[in-house]
Amino acid sequence: MATNILSPYQAGQVYEEEIFGGFENQFEAQYCKDFLNSTSKGLVLDLACGDGRHTLRLSEKADYVIAVDLSPNNLRMAWRKCQGKENIAFIEASMLDLPFRENIFEGIWFSQAFEYIAPDRRLGFLLSARRILKPRGVLYMSVETWMYPSLWVSLKELWSNFRLYLYWRFVKRKPLLWGEFLYYLSSEKVGDRISRWHYHVHTDKWTLLRVLRKSELRILKLDLHDGYFYALCERAVT
């Protein structure tokens, strides 16, 4: 699955969000402002940074930004975009194996990558993120879902996901868990990236709330818009 996830990012010379804009929509732009207002400068982690589309913005307010991505190609694009900025460092690493000590970051910015975390690894990931946050440090996440404000649209999206899950689980015999599926990624929509089946996981609201509660991350703000949950969380002080 890791190879499936990485291949489009390794093949492309233009990152998807470079085509559509720095932020997915006005919700993410506002969450970035709220995130930066909550981090009180300090050290910030841009996790799964992609081509650095948000790294530059974070570096304008944070004292120092560490940008992490598993794709060397993404990191090359990010480095070029952020040349000249002395308060940014880039690290090639997996979001599932974070190479940082405890209580180091004021904030973690995690945009459009939760959909690559398998259902049975969500809690471990969030506990790892909590571990490297300072007490009352904040975590931003955008979480892809089949849920929409419209019930009819939600049901159509859920049915589409269910059909894909059944196909890959029982016809293609892939060892998928519920919520996991593969969809066709068309190169026509993302510039020069390759066309192929691409791994995703959708998360419903109840699952998201449950796993955040178990990881002791307190929700400060949560919105649903156009197939994404936007969440700003705080590491609870125990």
Measured CA to CA, the distance from residue 105 to residue 44 in angstroms comes to 6
Residue 36 lies in a domain: yes
Phi-psi domain of 112 (left: phi exceeds 0; alpha: psi -120 through 50; beta: other): left
For tokens 């589409």, what's the residue? 160
Measured CA to CA, the distance from residue 41 to residue 224 in angstroms comes to 27
Q: Where would I find the beta strands (DSSP E) of the chain? A: 43-47, 64-69, 88-92, 105-110, 133-144, 180-185, 196-201, 217-225, 228-235
Residue 174 lies in a domain: no
Measured CA to CA, the distance from residue 29 to residue 34 in angstroms comes to 9
Q: Give the mean pLDDT per block of 10 residues along the chain (238 residues).
A: 57 50 79 90 93 90 95 90 92 94 96 94 97 96 95 96 94 92 72 71 96 96 94 90
Our measurement of the distance from residue 18's CA atom to the centroid of its chain's CA atoms, rounded to an integer in Å, reads 16
Task: State whether the Cα torsion 211-135-35-20 is positive or negative.
Answer: negative
Helix (H, G, I), strand (E, B) or coil at 101: coil
Measured CA to CA, the distance from residue 115 to residue 119 in angstroms comes to 9
CA atoms within 13 A on the CB side of 22: 12
Residue 187 lies in a domain: no
Domain CATH code at residue 143:
3.40.50.150
Count of structural domains within the chain? 1
Per-residue confidence (pLDDT) for residue 11, from 0 to 100 = 54
Residue 173 lies in a domain: no
pTM of the model: 0.89
Task: Identify which of 74, 47, 76 has the alpha carbon closest to the alpha carbon of residue 193.
Answer: 74
Residue 131 lies in a domain: yes
- Containing domain of residue 89, as a range? 2-148+204-235
Per-residue confidence (pLDDT) for residue 24, from 0 to 100 = 74
Per-residue confidence (pLDDT) for residue 25, from 0 to 100 = 81
Angle at 65 between CA 60 and CA 68, to 5 degrees: 135
Per-residue confidence (pLDDT) for residue 205, from 0 to 100 = 96
Measured CA to CA, the distance from residue 107 to residue 67 in angstroms comes to 12
